[in-house]
């Protein structure tokens, strides 16, 4: 048995970042992790491996569609799927080993195994019970199942199975037009699969700015994805390695069926707190199964904190990381803070989609007077040179004060471009502040500046 200042349960982006910050603040820290490797869902079966496949499949797309135009002639590459998976696994290995190195460097103990909390101040791993002044639950989330649909991770898969399919399917049905469905759907579409996305709502990407969402759907359709919207999936039957997906169209209740080699179920995730013993401890939960916390990530049981996907808020690695750093500060007696109004969201398709702050729909609902500054990447020289003219930047600013309220970008490197708006928003900047900032030419960032100019006297290159 050992004694620690802090024990964190879970080594995903929330947990490992929390551990490093705790150690930097001089706290004796351990992390419980039952997986063979550190990094949680994000590094092992989520963000990182999916980005490797998105990158590889995008390179193929470039070779097929744009190389010849640039005078790069020759045989178009063919897909060696086992090699692409090996590349993805190598990327995972490099990243997870990187966390192991950071743990050693910061003198953080990895308690290998699945942890539970038998009592406040105690964490059990295997037969060992360790003591901790503070415990942080950072156990993340798992895919939420659809009633009547059995996942076998071979024919009917979650994002985990979809990252390691034995072969590229001829026909893939994706249930759910959210982030996972569209990222992985676009990977397989680029690799040659026929991809049909079935979505319950009448639009893709719930919660996203409607104008961006419509453009996004149009661009994905151009890449070959087909969309069946307003459709509720009822069942998935499997036989002889194939699947039959049954759904009804909400507009007329008509029943339909479609065959597929692989069905990706991407209908959301739920907090994962199984086996921790939270009910026996009396830890309060929300009615959606999340650990209830106060503004300082403390649960109702003294000394037990929770962060990341296990609590309320968007299920995003970077939101968990921020909470991990902030709760470490709180535990060390400092002031941890997360500005939930400025958390970007990114979809890593091609083009990327990135968003921060309010959407137009939210501002209308709130009755807020606002103005819109929009700029198309068609007017951006760099984007034109790189076959990346699809999409736009949209900045929403207060009509009176010009303060930036939100930004929505669909286009090249949107996931990176969004951060200058995030920083501006953190400083309470106006659109004019962005517009008056010199932006290097030729860069994609100029499109952000032009959108800011469009909130005032107008963009230059429109």
Residues contributing to the annotated binding site for NAD(+): 176-183, 199, 268
Q: Quick check: 209 binds ligand NAI (CB under 6 A)?
A: no
Among 13, 121, 161, 178, binds ligand NAI (CB under 6 A): 178
Binders in 279-308 for ligand NAI, by CB under 6 A: none
Kindly tell me which of 129 and 201 has the beta carbon lying closer to ligand NAI.
Answer: 201
- Secondary structure in 3-state letters for the chain: CCEEEEEEECCCHHHHHHHHHHHHCCCCEEEEECCCCCCHHHHHHCHHHHHHHHHHHHHHHHHHHCCHHHCCCCCCCCCCHHHHHHHHHHHHHHHHHHHHHHHHHCCCEEEECCEEEEECCEEEECCEEEEEEEEEECCCEEECCCCCCCCCCCCEECHHHHCCCCCCCCEEEEECCCHHHHHHHHHHHHCCCEEEEECCCCCCCCCCCHHHHHHHHHHHHHCCCEEECCEEEEEEEEECCEEEEEEEECCCCCEEEEEECEEEECCCEEECCCCCCHHHHCCCECCCCCECCCCCCECCCCCEEECHHHCCCCCCHHHHHHHHHHHHHHHCCCCCCCCHHHCCEEECCCCEEEEEECCHHHHHHHCCCEEEEEEEHHHCHHHHHCCCCCCEEEEEEECCCCEEEEEEEEECCHHHHHHHHHHHHHCCCEHHHHHCCCCCCCCCHHHHHHHHHHCCCCCCCC
- Among 38, 177, 358, 413, indicate the residue that binds ligand NAI (CB under 6 A): 177
434 binds ligand NAI (CB under 6 A): no
CB of 341: closest distance to ligand NAI in angstroms?
17
Measured from the CB atom, the residue of 171 and 399 that comes closer to ligand NAI is 171
**Site for ligand NAI (CB under 6 A): which residue of 6, 84, 196, 199?**
199
What residues between 348 and 377 interact with ligand NAI by CB under 6 A?
348
- Residues at the annotated binding site for FAD? 51, 115, 139-141, 309, 315-318
Q: Does 184 bind ligand NAI (CB under 6 A)?
A: no
Please state the closest distance from residue 327 (CB atom) to ligand NAI, in A. Answer: 20
Q: Which one of residues 268, 313, 381, 442 is an interface residue with ligand NAI (CB under 6 A)?
A: 268
Between β-strands 304-306 and 370-376, what pairing exists: parallel, antiparallel or unpaired? unpaired
Q: Report the nearest approach of ligand NAI to the CB of residue 335 (Å).
A: 28
The one among 48, 92, 173, 180 contacting ligand NAI by CB under 6 A: 180
Of the candidates 65, 256, 337, 441, the residue annotated as catalytic is 441
Stretch that binds ligand NAI, among 52-60, 96-104, 265-273, 421-429 (CB under 6 A): 265-273
Q: Which stretch binds ligand NAI (CB under 6 A): 32-40, 163-171, 195-203, 359-367?
A: 195-203
Instruction: Name which of residues 19 to 78 contact ligand NAI (CB under 6 A).
Output: none
Counting contacts by CB under 6 A, is residue 414 touching ligand NAI?
no
- R_g (Cα) of the chain, nearest Å: 23
Please identify, using beta-carbon distances, which residue of 115 and 357 lies nearer to ligand NAI: 357
Out of 22, 27, 163, 346, the only residue in the binding site for ligand NAI (CB under 6 A) is: 346
Count of positions on this chain that bind ligand NAI (CB under 6 A):
26
Which of residues 21, 130, 190, 269 is near ligand NAI by CB under 6 A? 269
> Which among 65-73, 130-138, 344-352, 421-429 is the span making contact with ligand NAI, rule CB under 6 A?
344-352
Contacts of residue 343, defined as CB under 8 A and 6 or more positions apart, other chains included, come to 314, 316, 318, 319, 322, 356
Q: Smallest distance from the beta carbon of 69 to ligand NAI, in angstroms?
A: 29
The set of catalytic residues is 441
List of residues contacting ligand NAI (CB under 6 A)? 146, 175-181, 183, 198-201, 206, 232-233, 266-269, 314-316, 346-348
């Amino acid at each position: 048995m050992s004694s620690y200042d802090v024990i964190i349960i879970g080594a995903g982006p929330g947990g490992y970042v929390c551990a490093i910050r705790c150690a930097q603040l001089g706290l004796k820290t351990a992390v419980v992790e039952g997986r063979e490797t550190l990094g949680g869902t994000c590094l092992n079966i989520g963000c990182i491996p999916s980005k490797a496949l998105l990158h590889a499949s995008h390179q193929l797309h470039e070779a097929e569609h744009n190389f010849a135009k640039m005078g790069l002639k020759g045989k178009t590459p063919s897909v060696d799927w086992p090699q692409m998976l090996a590349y993805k696994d190598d990327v995972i290995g490099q990243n997870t080993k990187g966390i192991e190195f950071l743990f050693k460097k910061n003198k953080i103990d990895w308690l290998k195994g699945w942890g539970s909390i038998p009592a406040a101040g105690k964490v059990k791993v295997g037969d060992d019970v360790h003591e901790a002044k503070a415990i942080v639950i950072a156990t993340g989330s798992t895919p939420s199942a659809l009633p009547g649909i059995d996942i076998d991770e071979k024919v009917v898969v979650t994002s985990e199975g979809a990252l390691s399919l034995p072969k590229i399917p001829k026909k893939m049905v994706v249930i759910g037009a959210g982030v996972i469905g569209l990222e992985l759907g676009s990977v397989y579409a680029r690799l040659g699969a026929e991809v049909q996305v079935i979505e319950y709502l009448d639009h893709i990407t719930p919660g996203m700015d409607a104008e961006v969402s419509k453009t996004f759907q149009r661009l994905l359709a151009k890449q070959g994805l087909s969309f069946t919207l307003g459709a509720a999936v009822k069942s998935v039957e499997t036989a002889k390695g194939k699947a039959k997906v049954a759904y009804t169209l909400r507009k007329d209740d008509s029943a339909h069926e479609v065959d597929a080699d692989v069905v990706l179920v991407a209908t959301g995730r739920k907090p994962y707190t199984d086996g921790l013993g939270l009910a026996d401890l009396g830890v309060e939960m929300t009615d959606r199964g999340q650990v209830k916390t106060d503004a300082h990530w403390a649960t109702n049981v003294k000394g037990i904190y929770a962060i990341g996907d296990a609590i309320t808020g968007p299920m995003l690695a970077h939101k968990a990381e921020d909470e991990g750093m902030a709760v470490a500060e709180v535990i060390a007696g400092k002031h941890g803070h997360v500005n939930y109004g400025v958390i970007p969201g990114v979809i890593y398709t091609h083009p990327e989609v990135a968003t921060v702050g309010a959407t137009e729909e939210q501002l209308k609902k709130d009755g807020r007077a606002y103005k819109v500054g929009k700029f198309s990447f068609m007017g951006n020289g760099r984007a034109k040179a790189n076959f990346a003219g699809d999409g736009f930047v949209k900045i929403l600013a207060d009509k009176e004060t010009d303060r930036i309220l939100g930004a929505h970008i669909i286009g090249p490197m949107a996931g990176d471009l969004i951060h200058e708006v995030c920083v501006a928003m953190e400083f309470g900047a106006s659109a004019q502040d962005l517009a008056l900032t010199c932006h290097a030419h030729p860069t994609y960032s100029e499109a952000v500046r032009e959108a800011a100019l469009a909130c005032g006297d107008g963009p230059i290159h429109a």
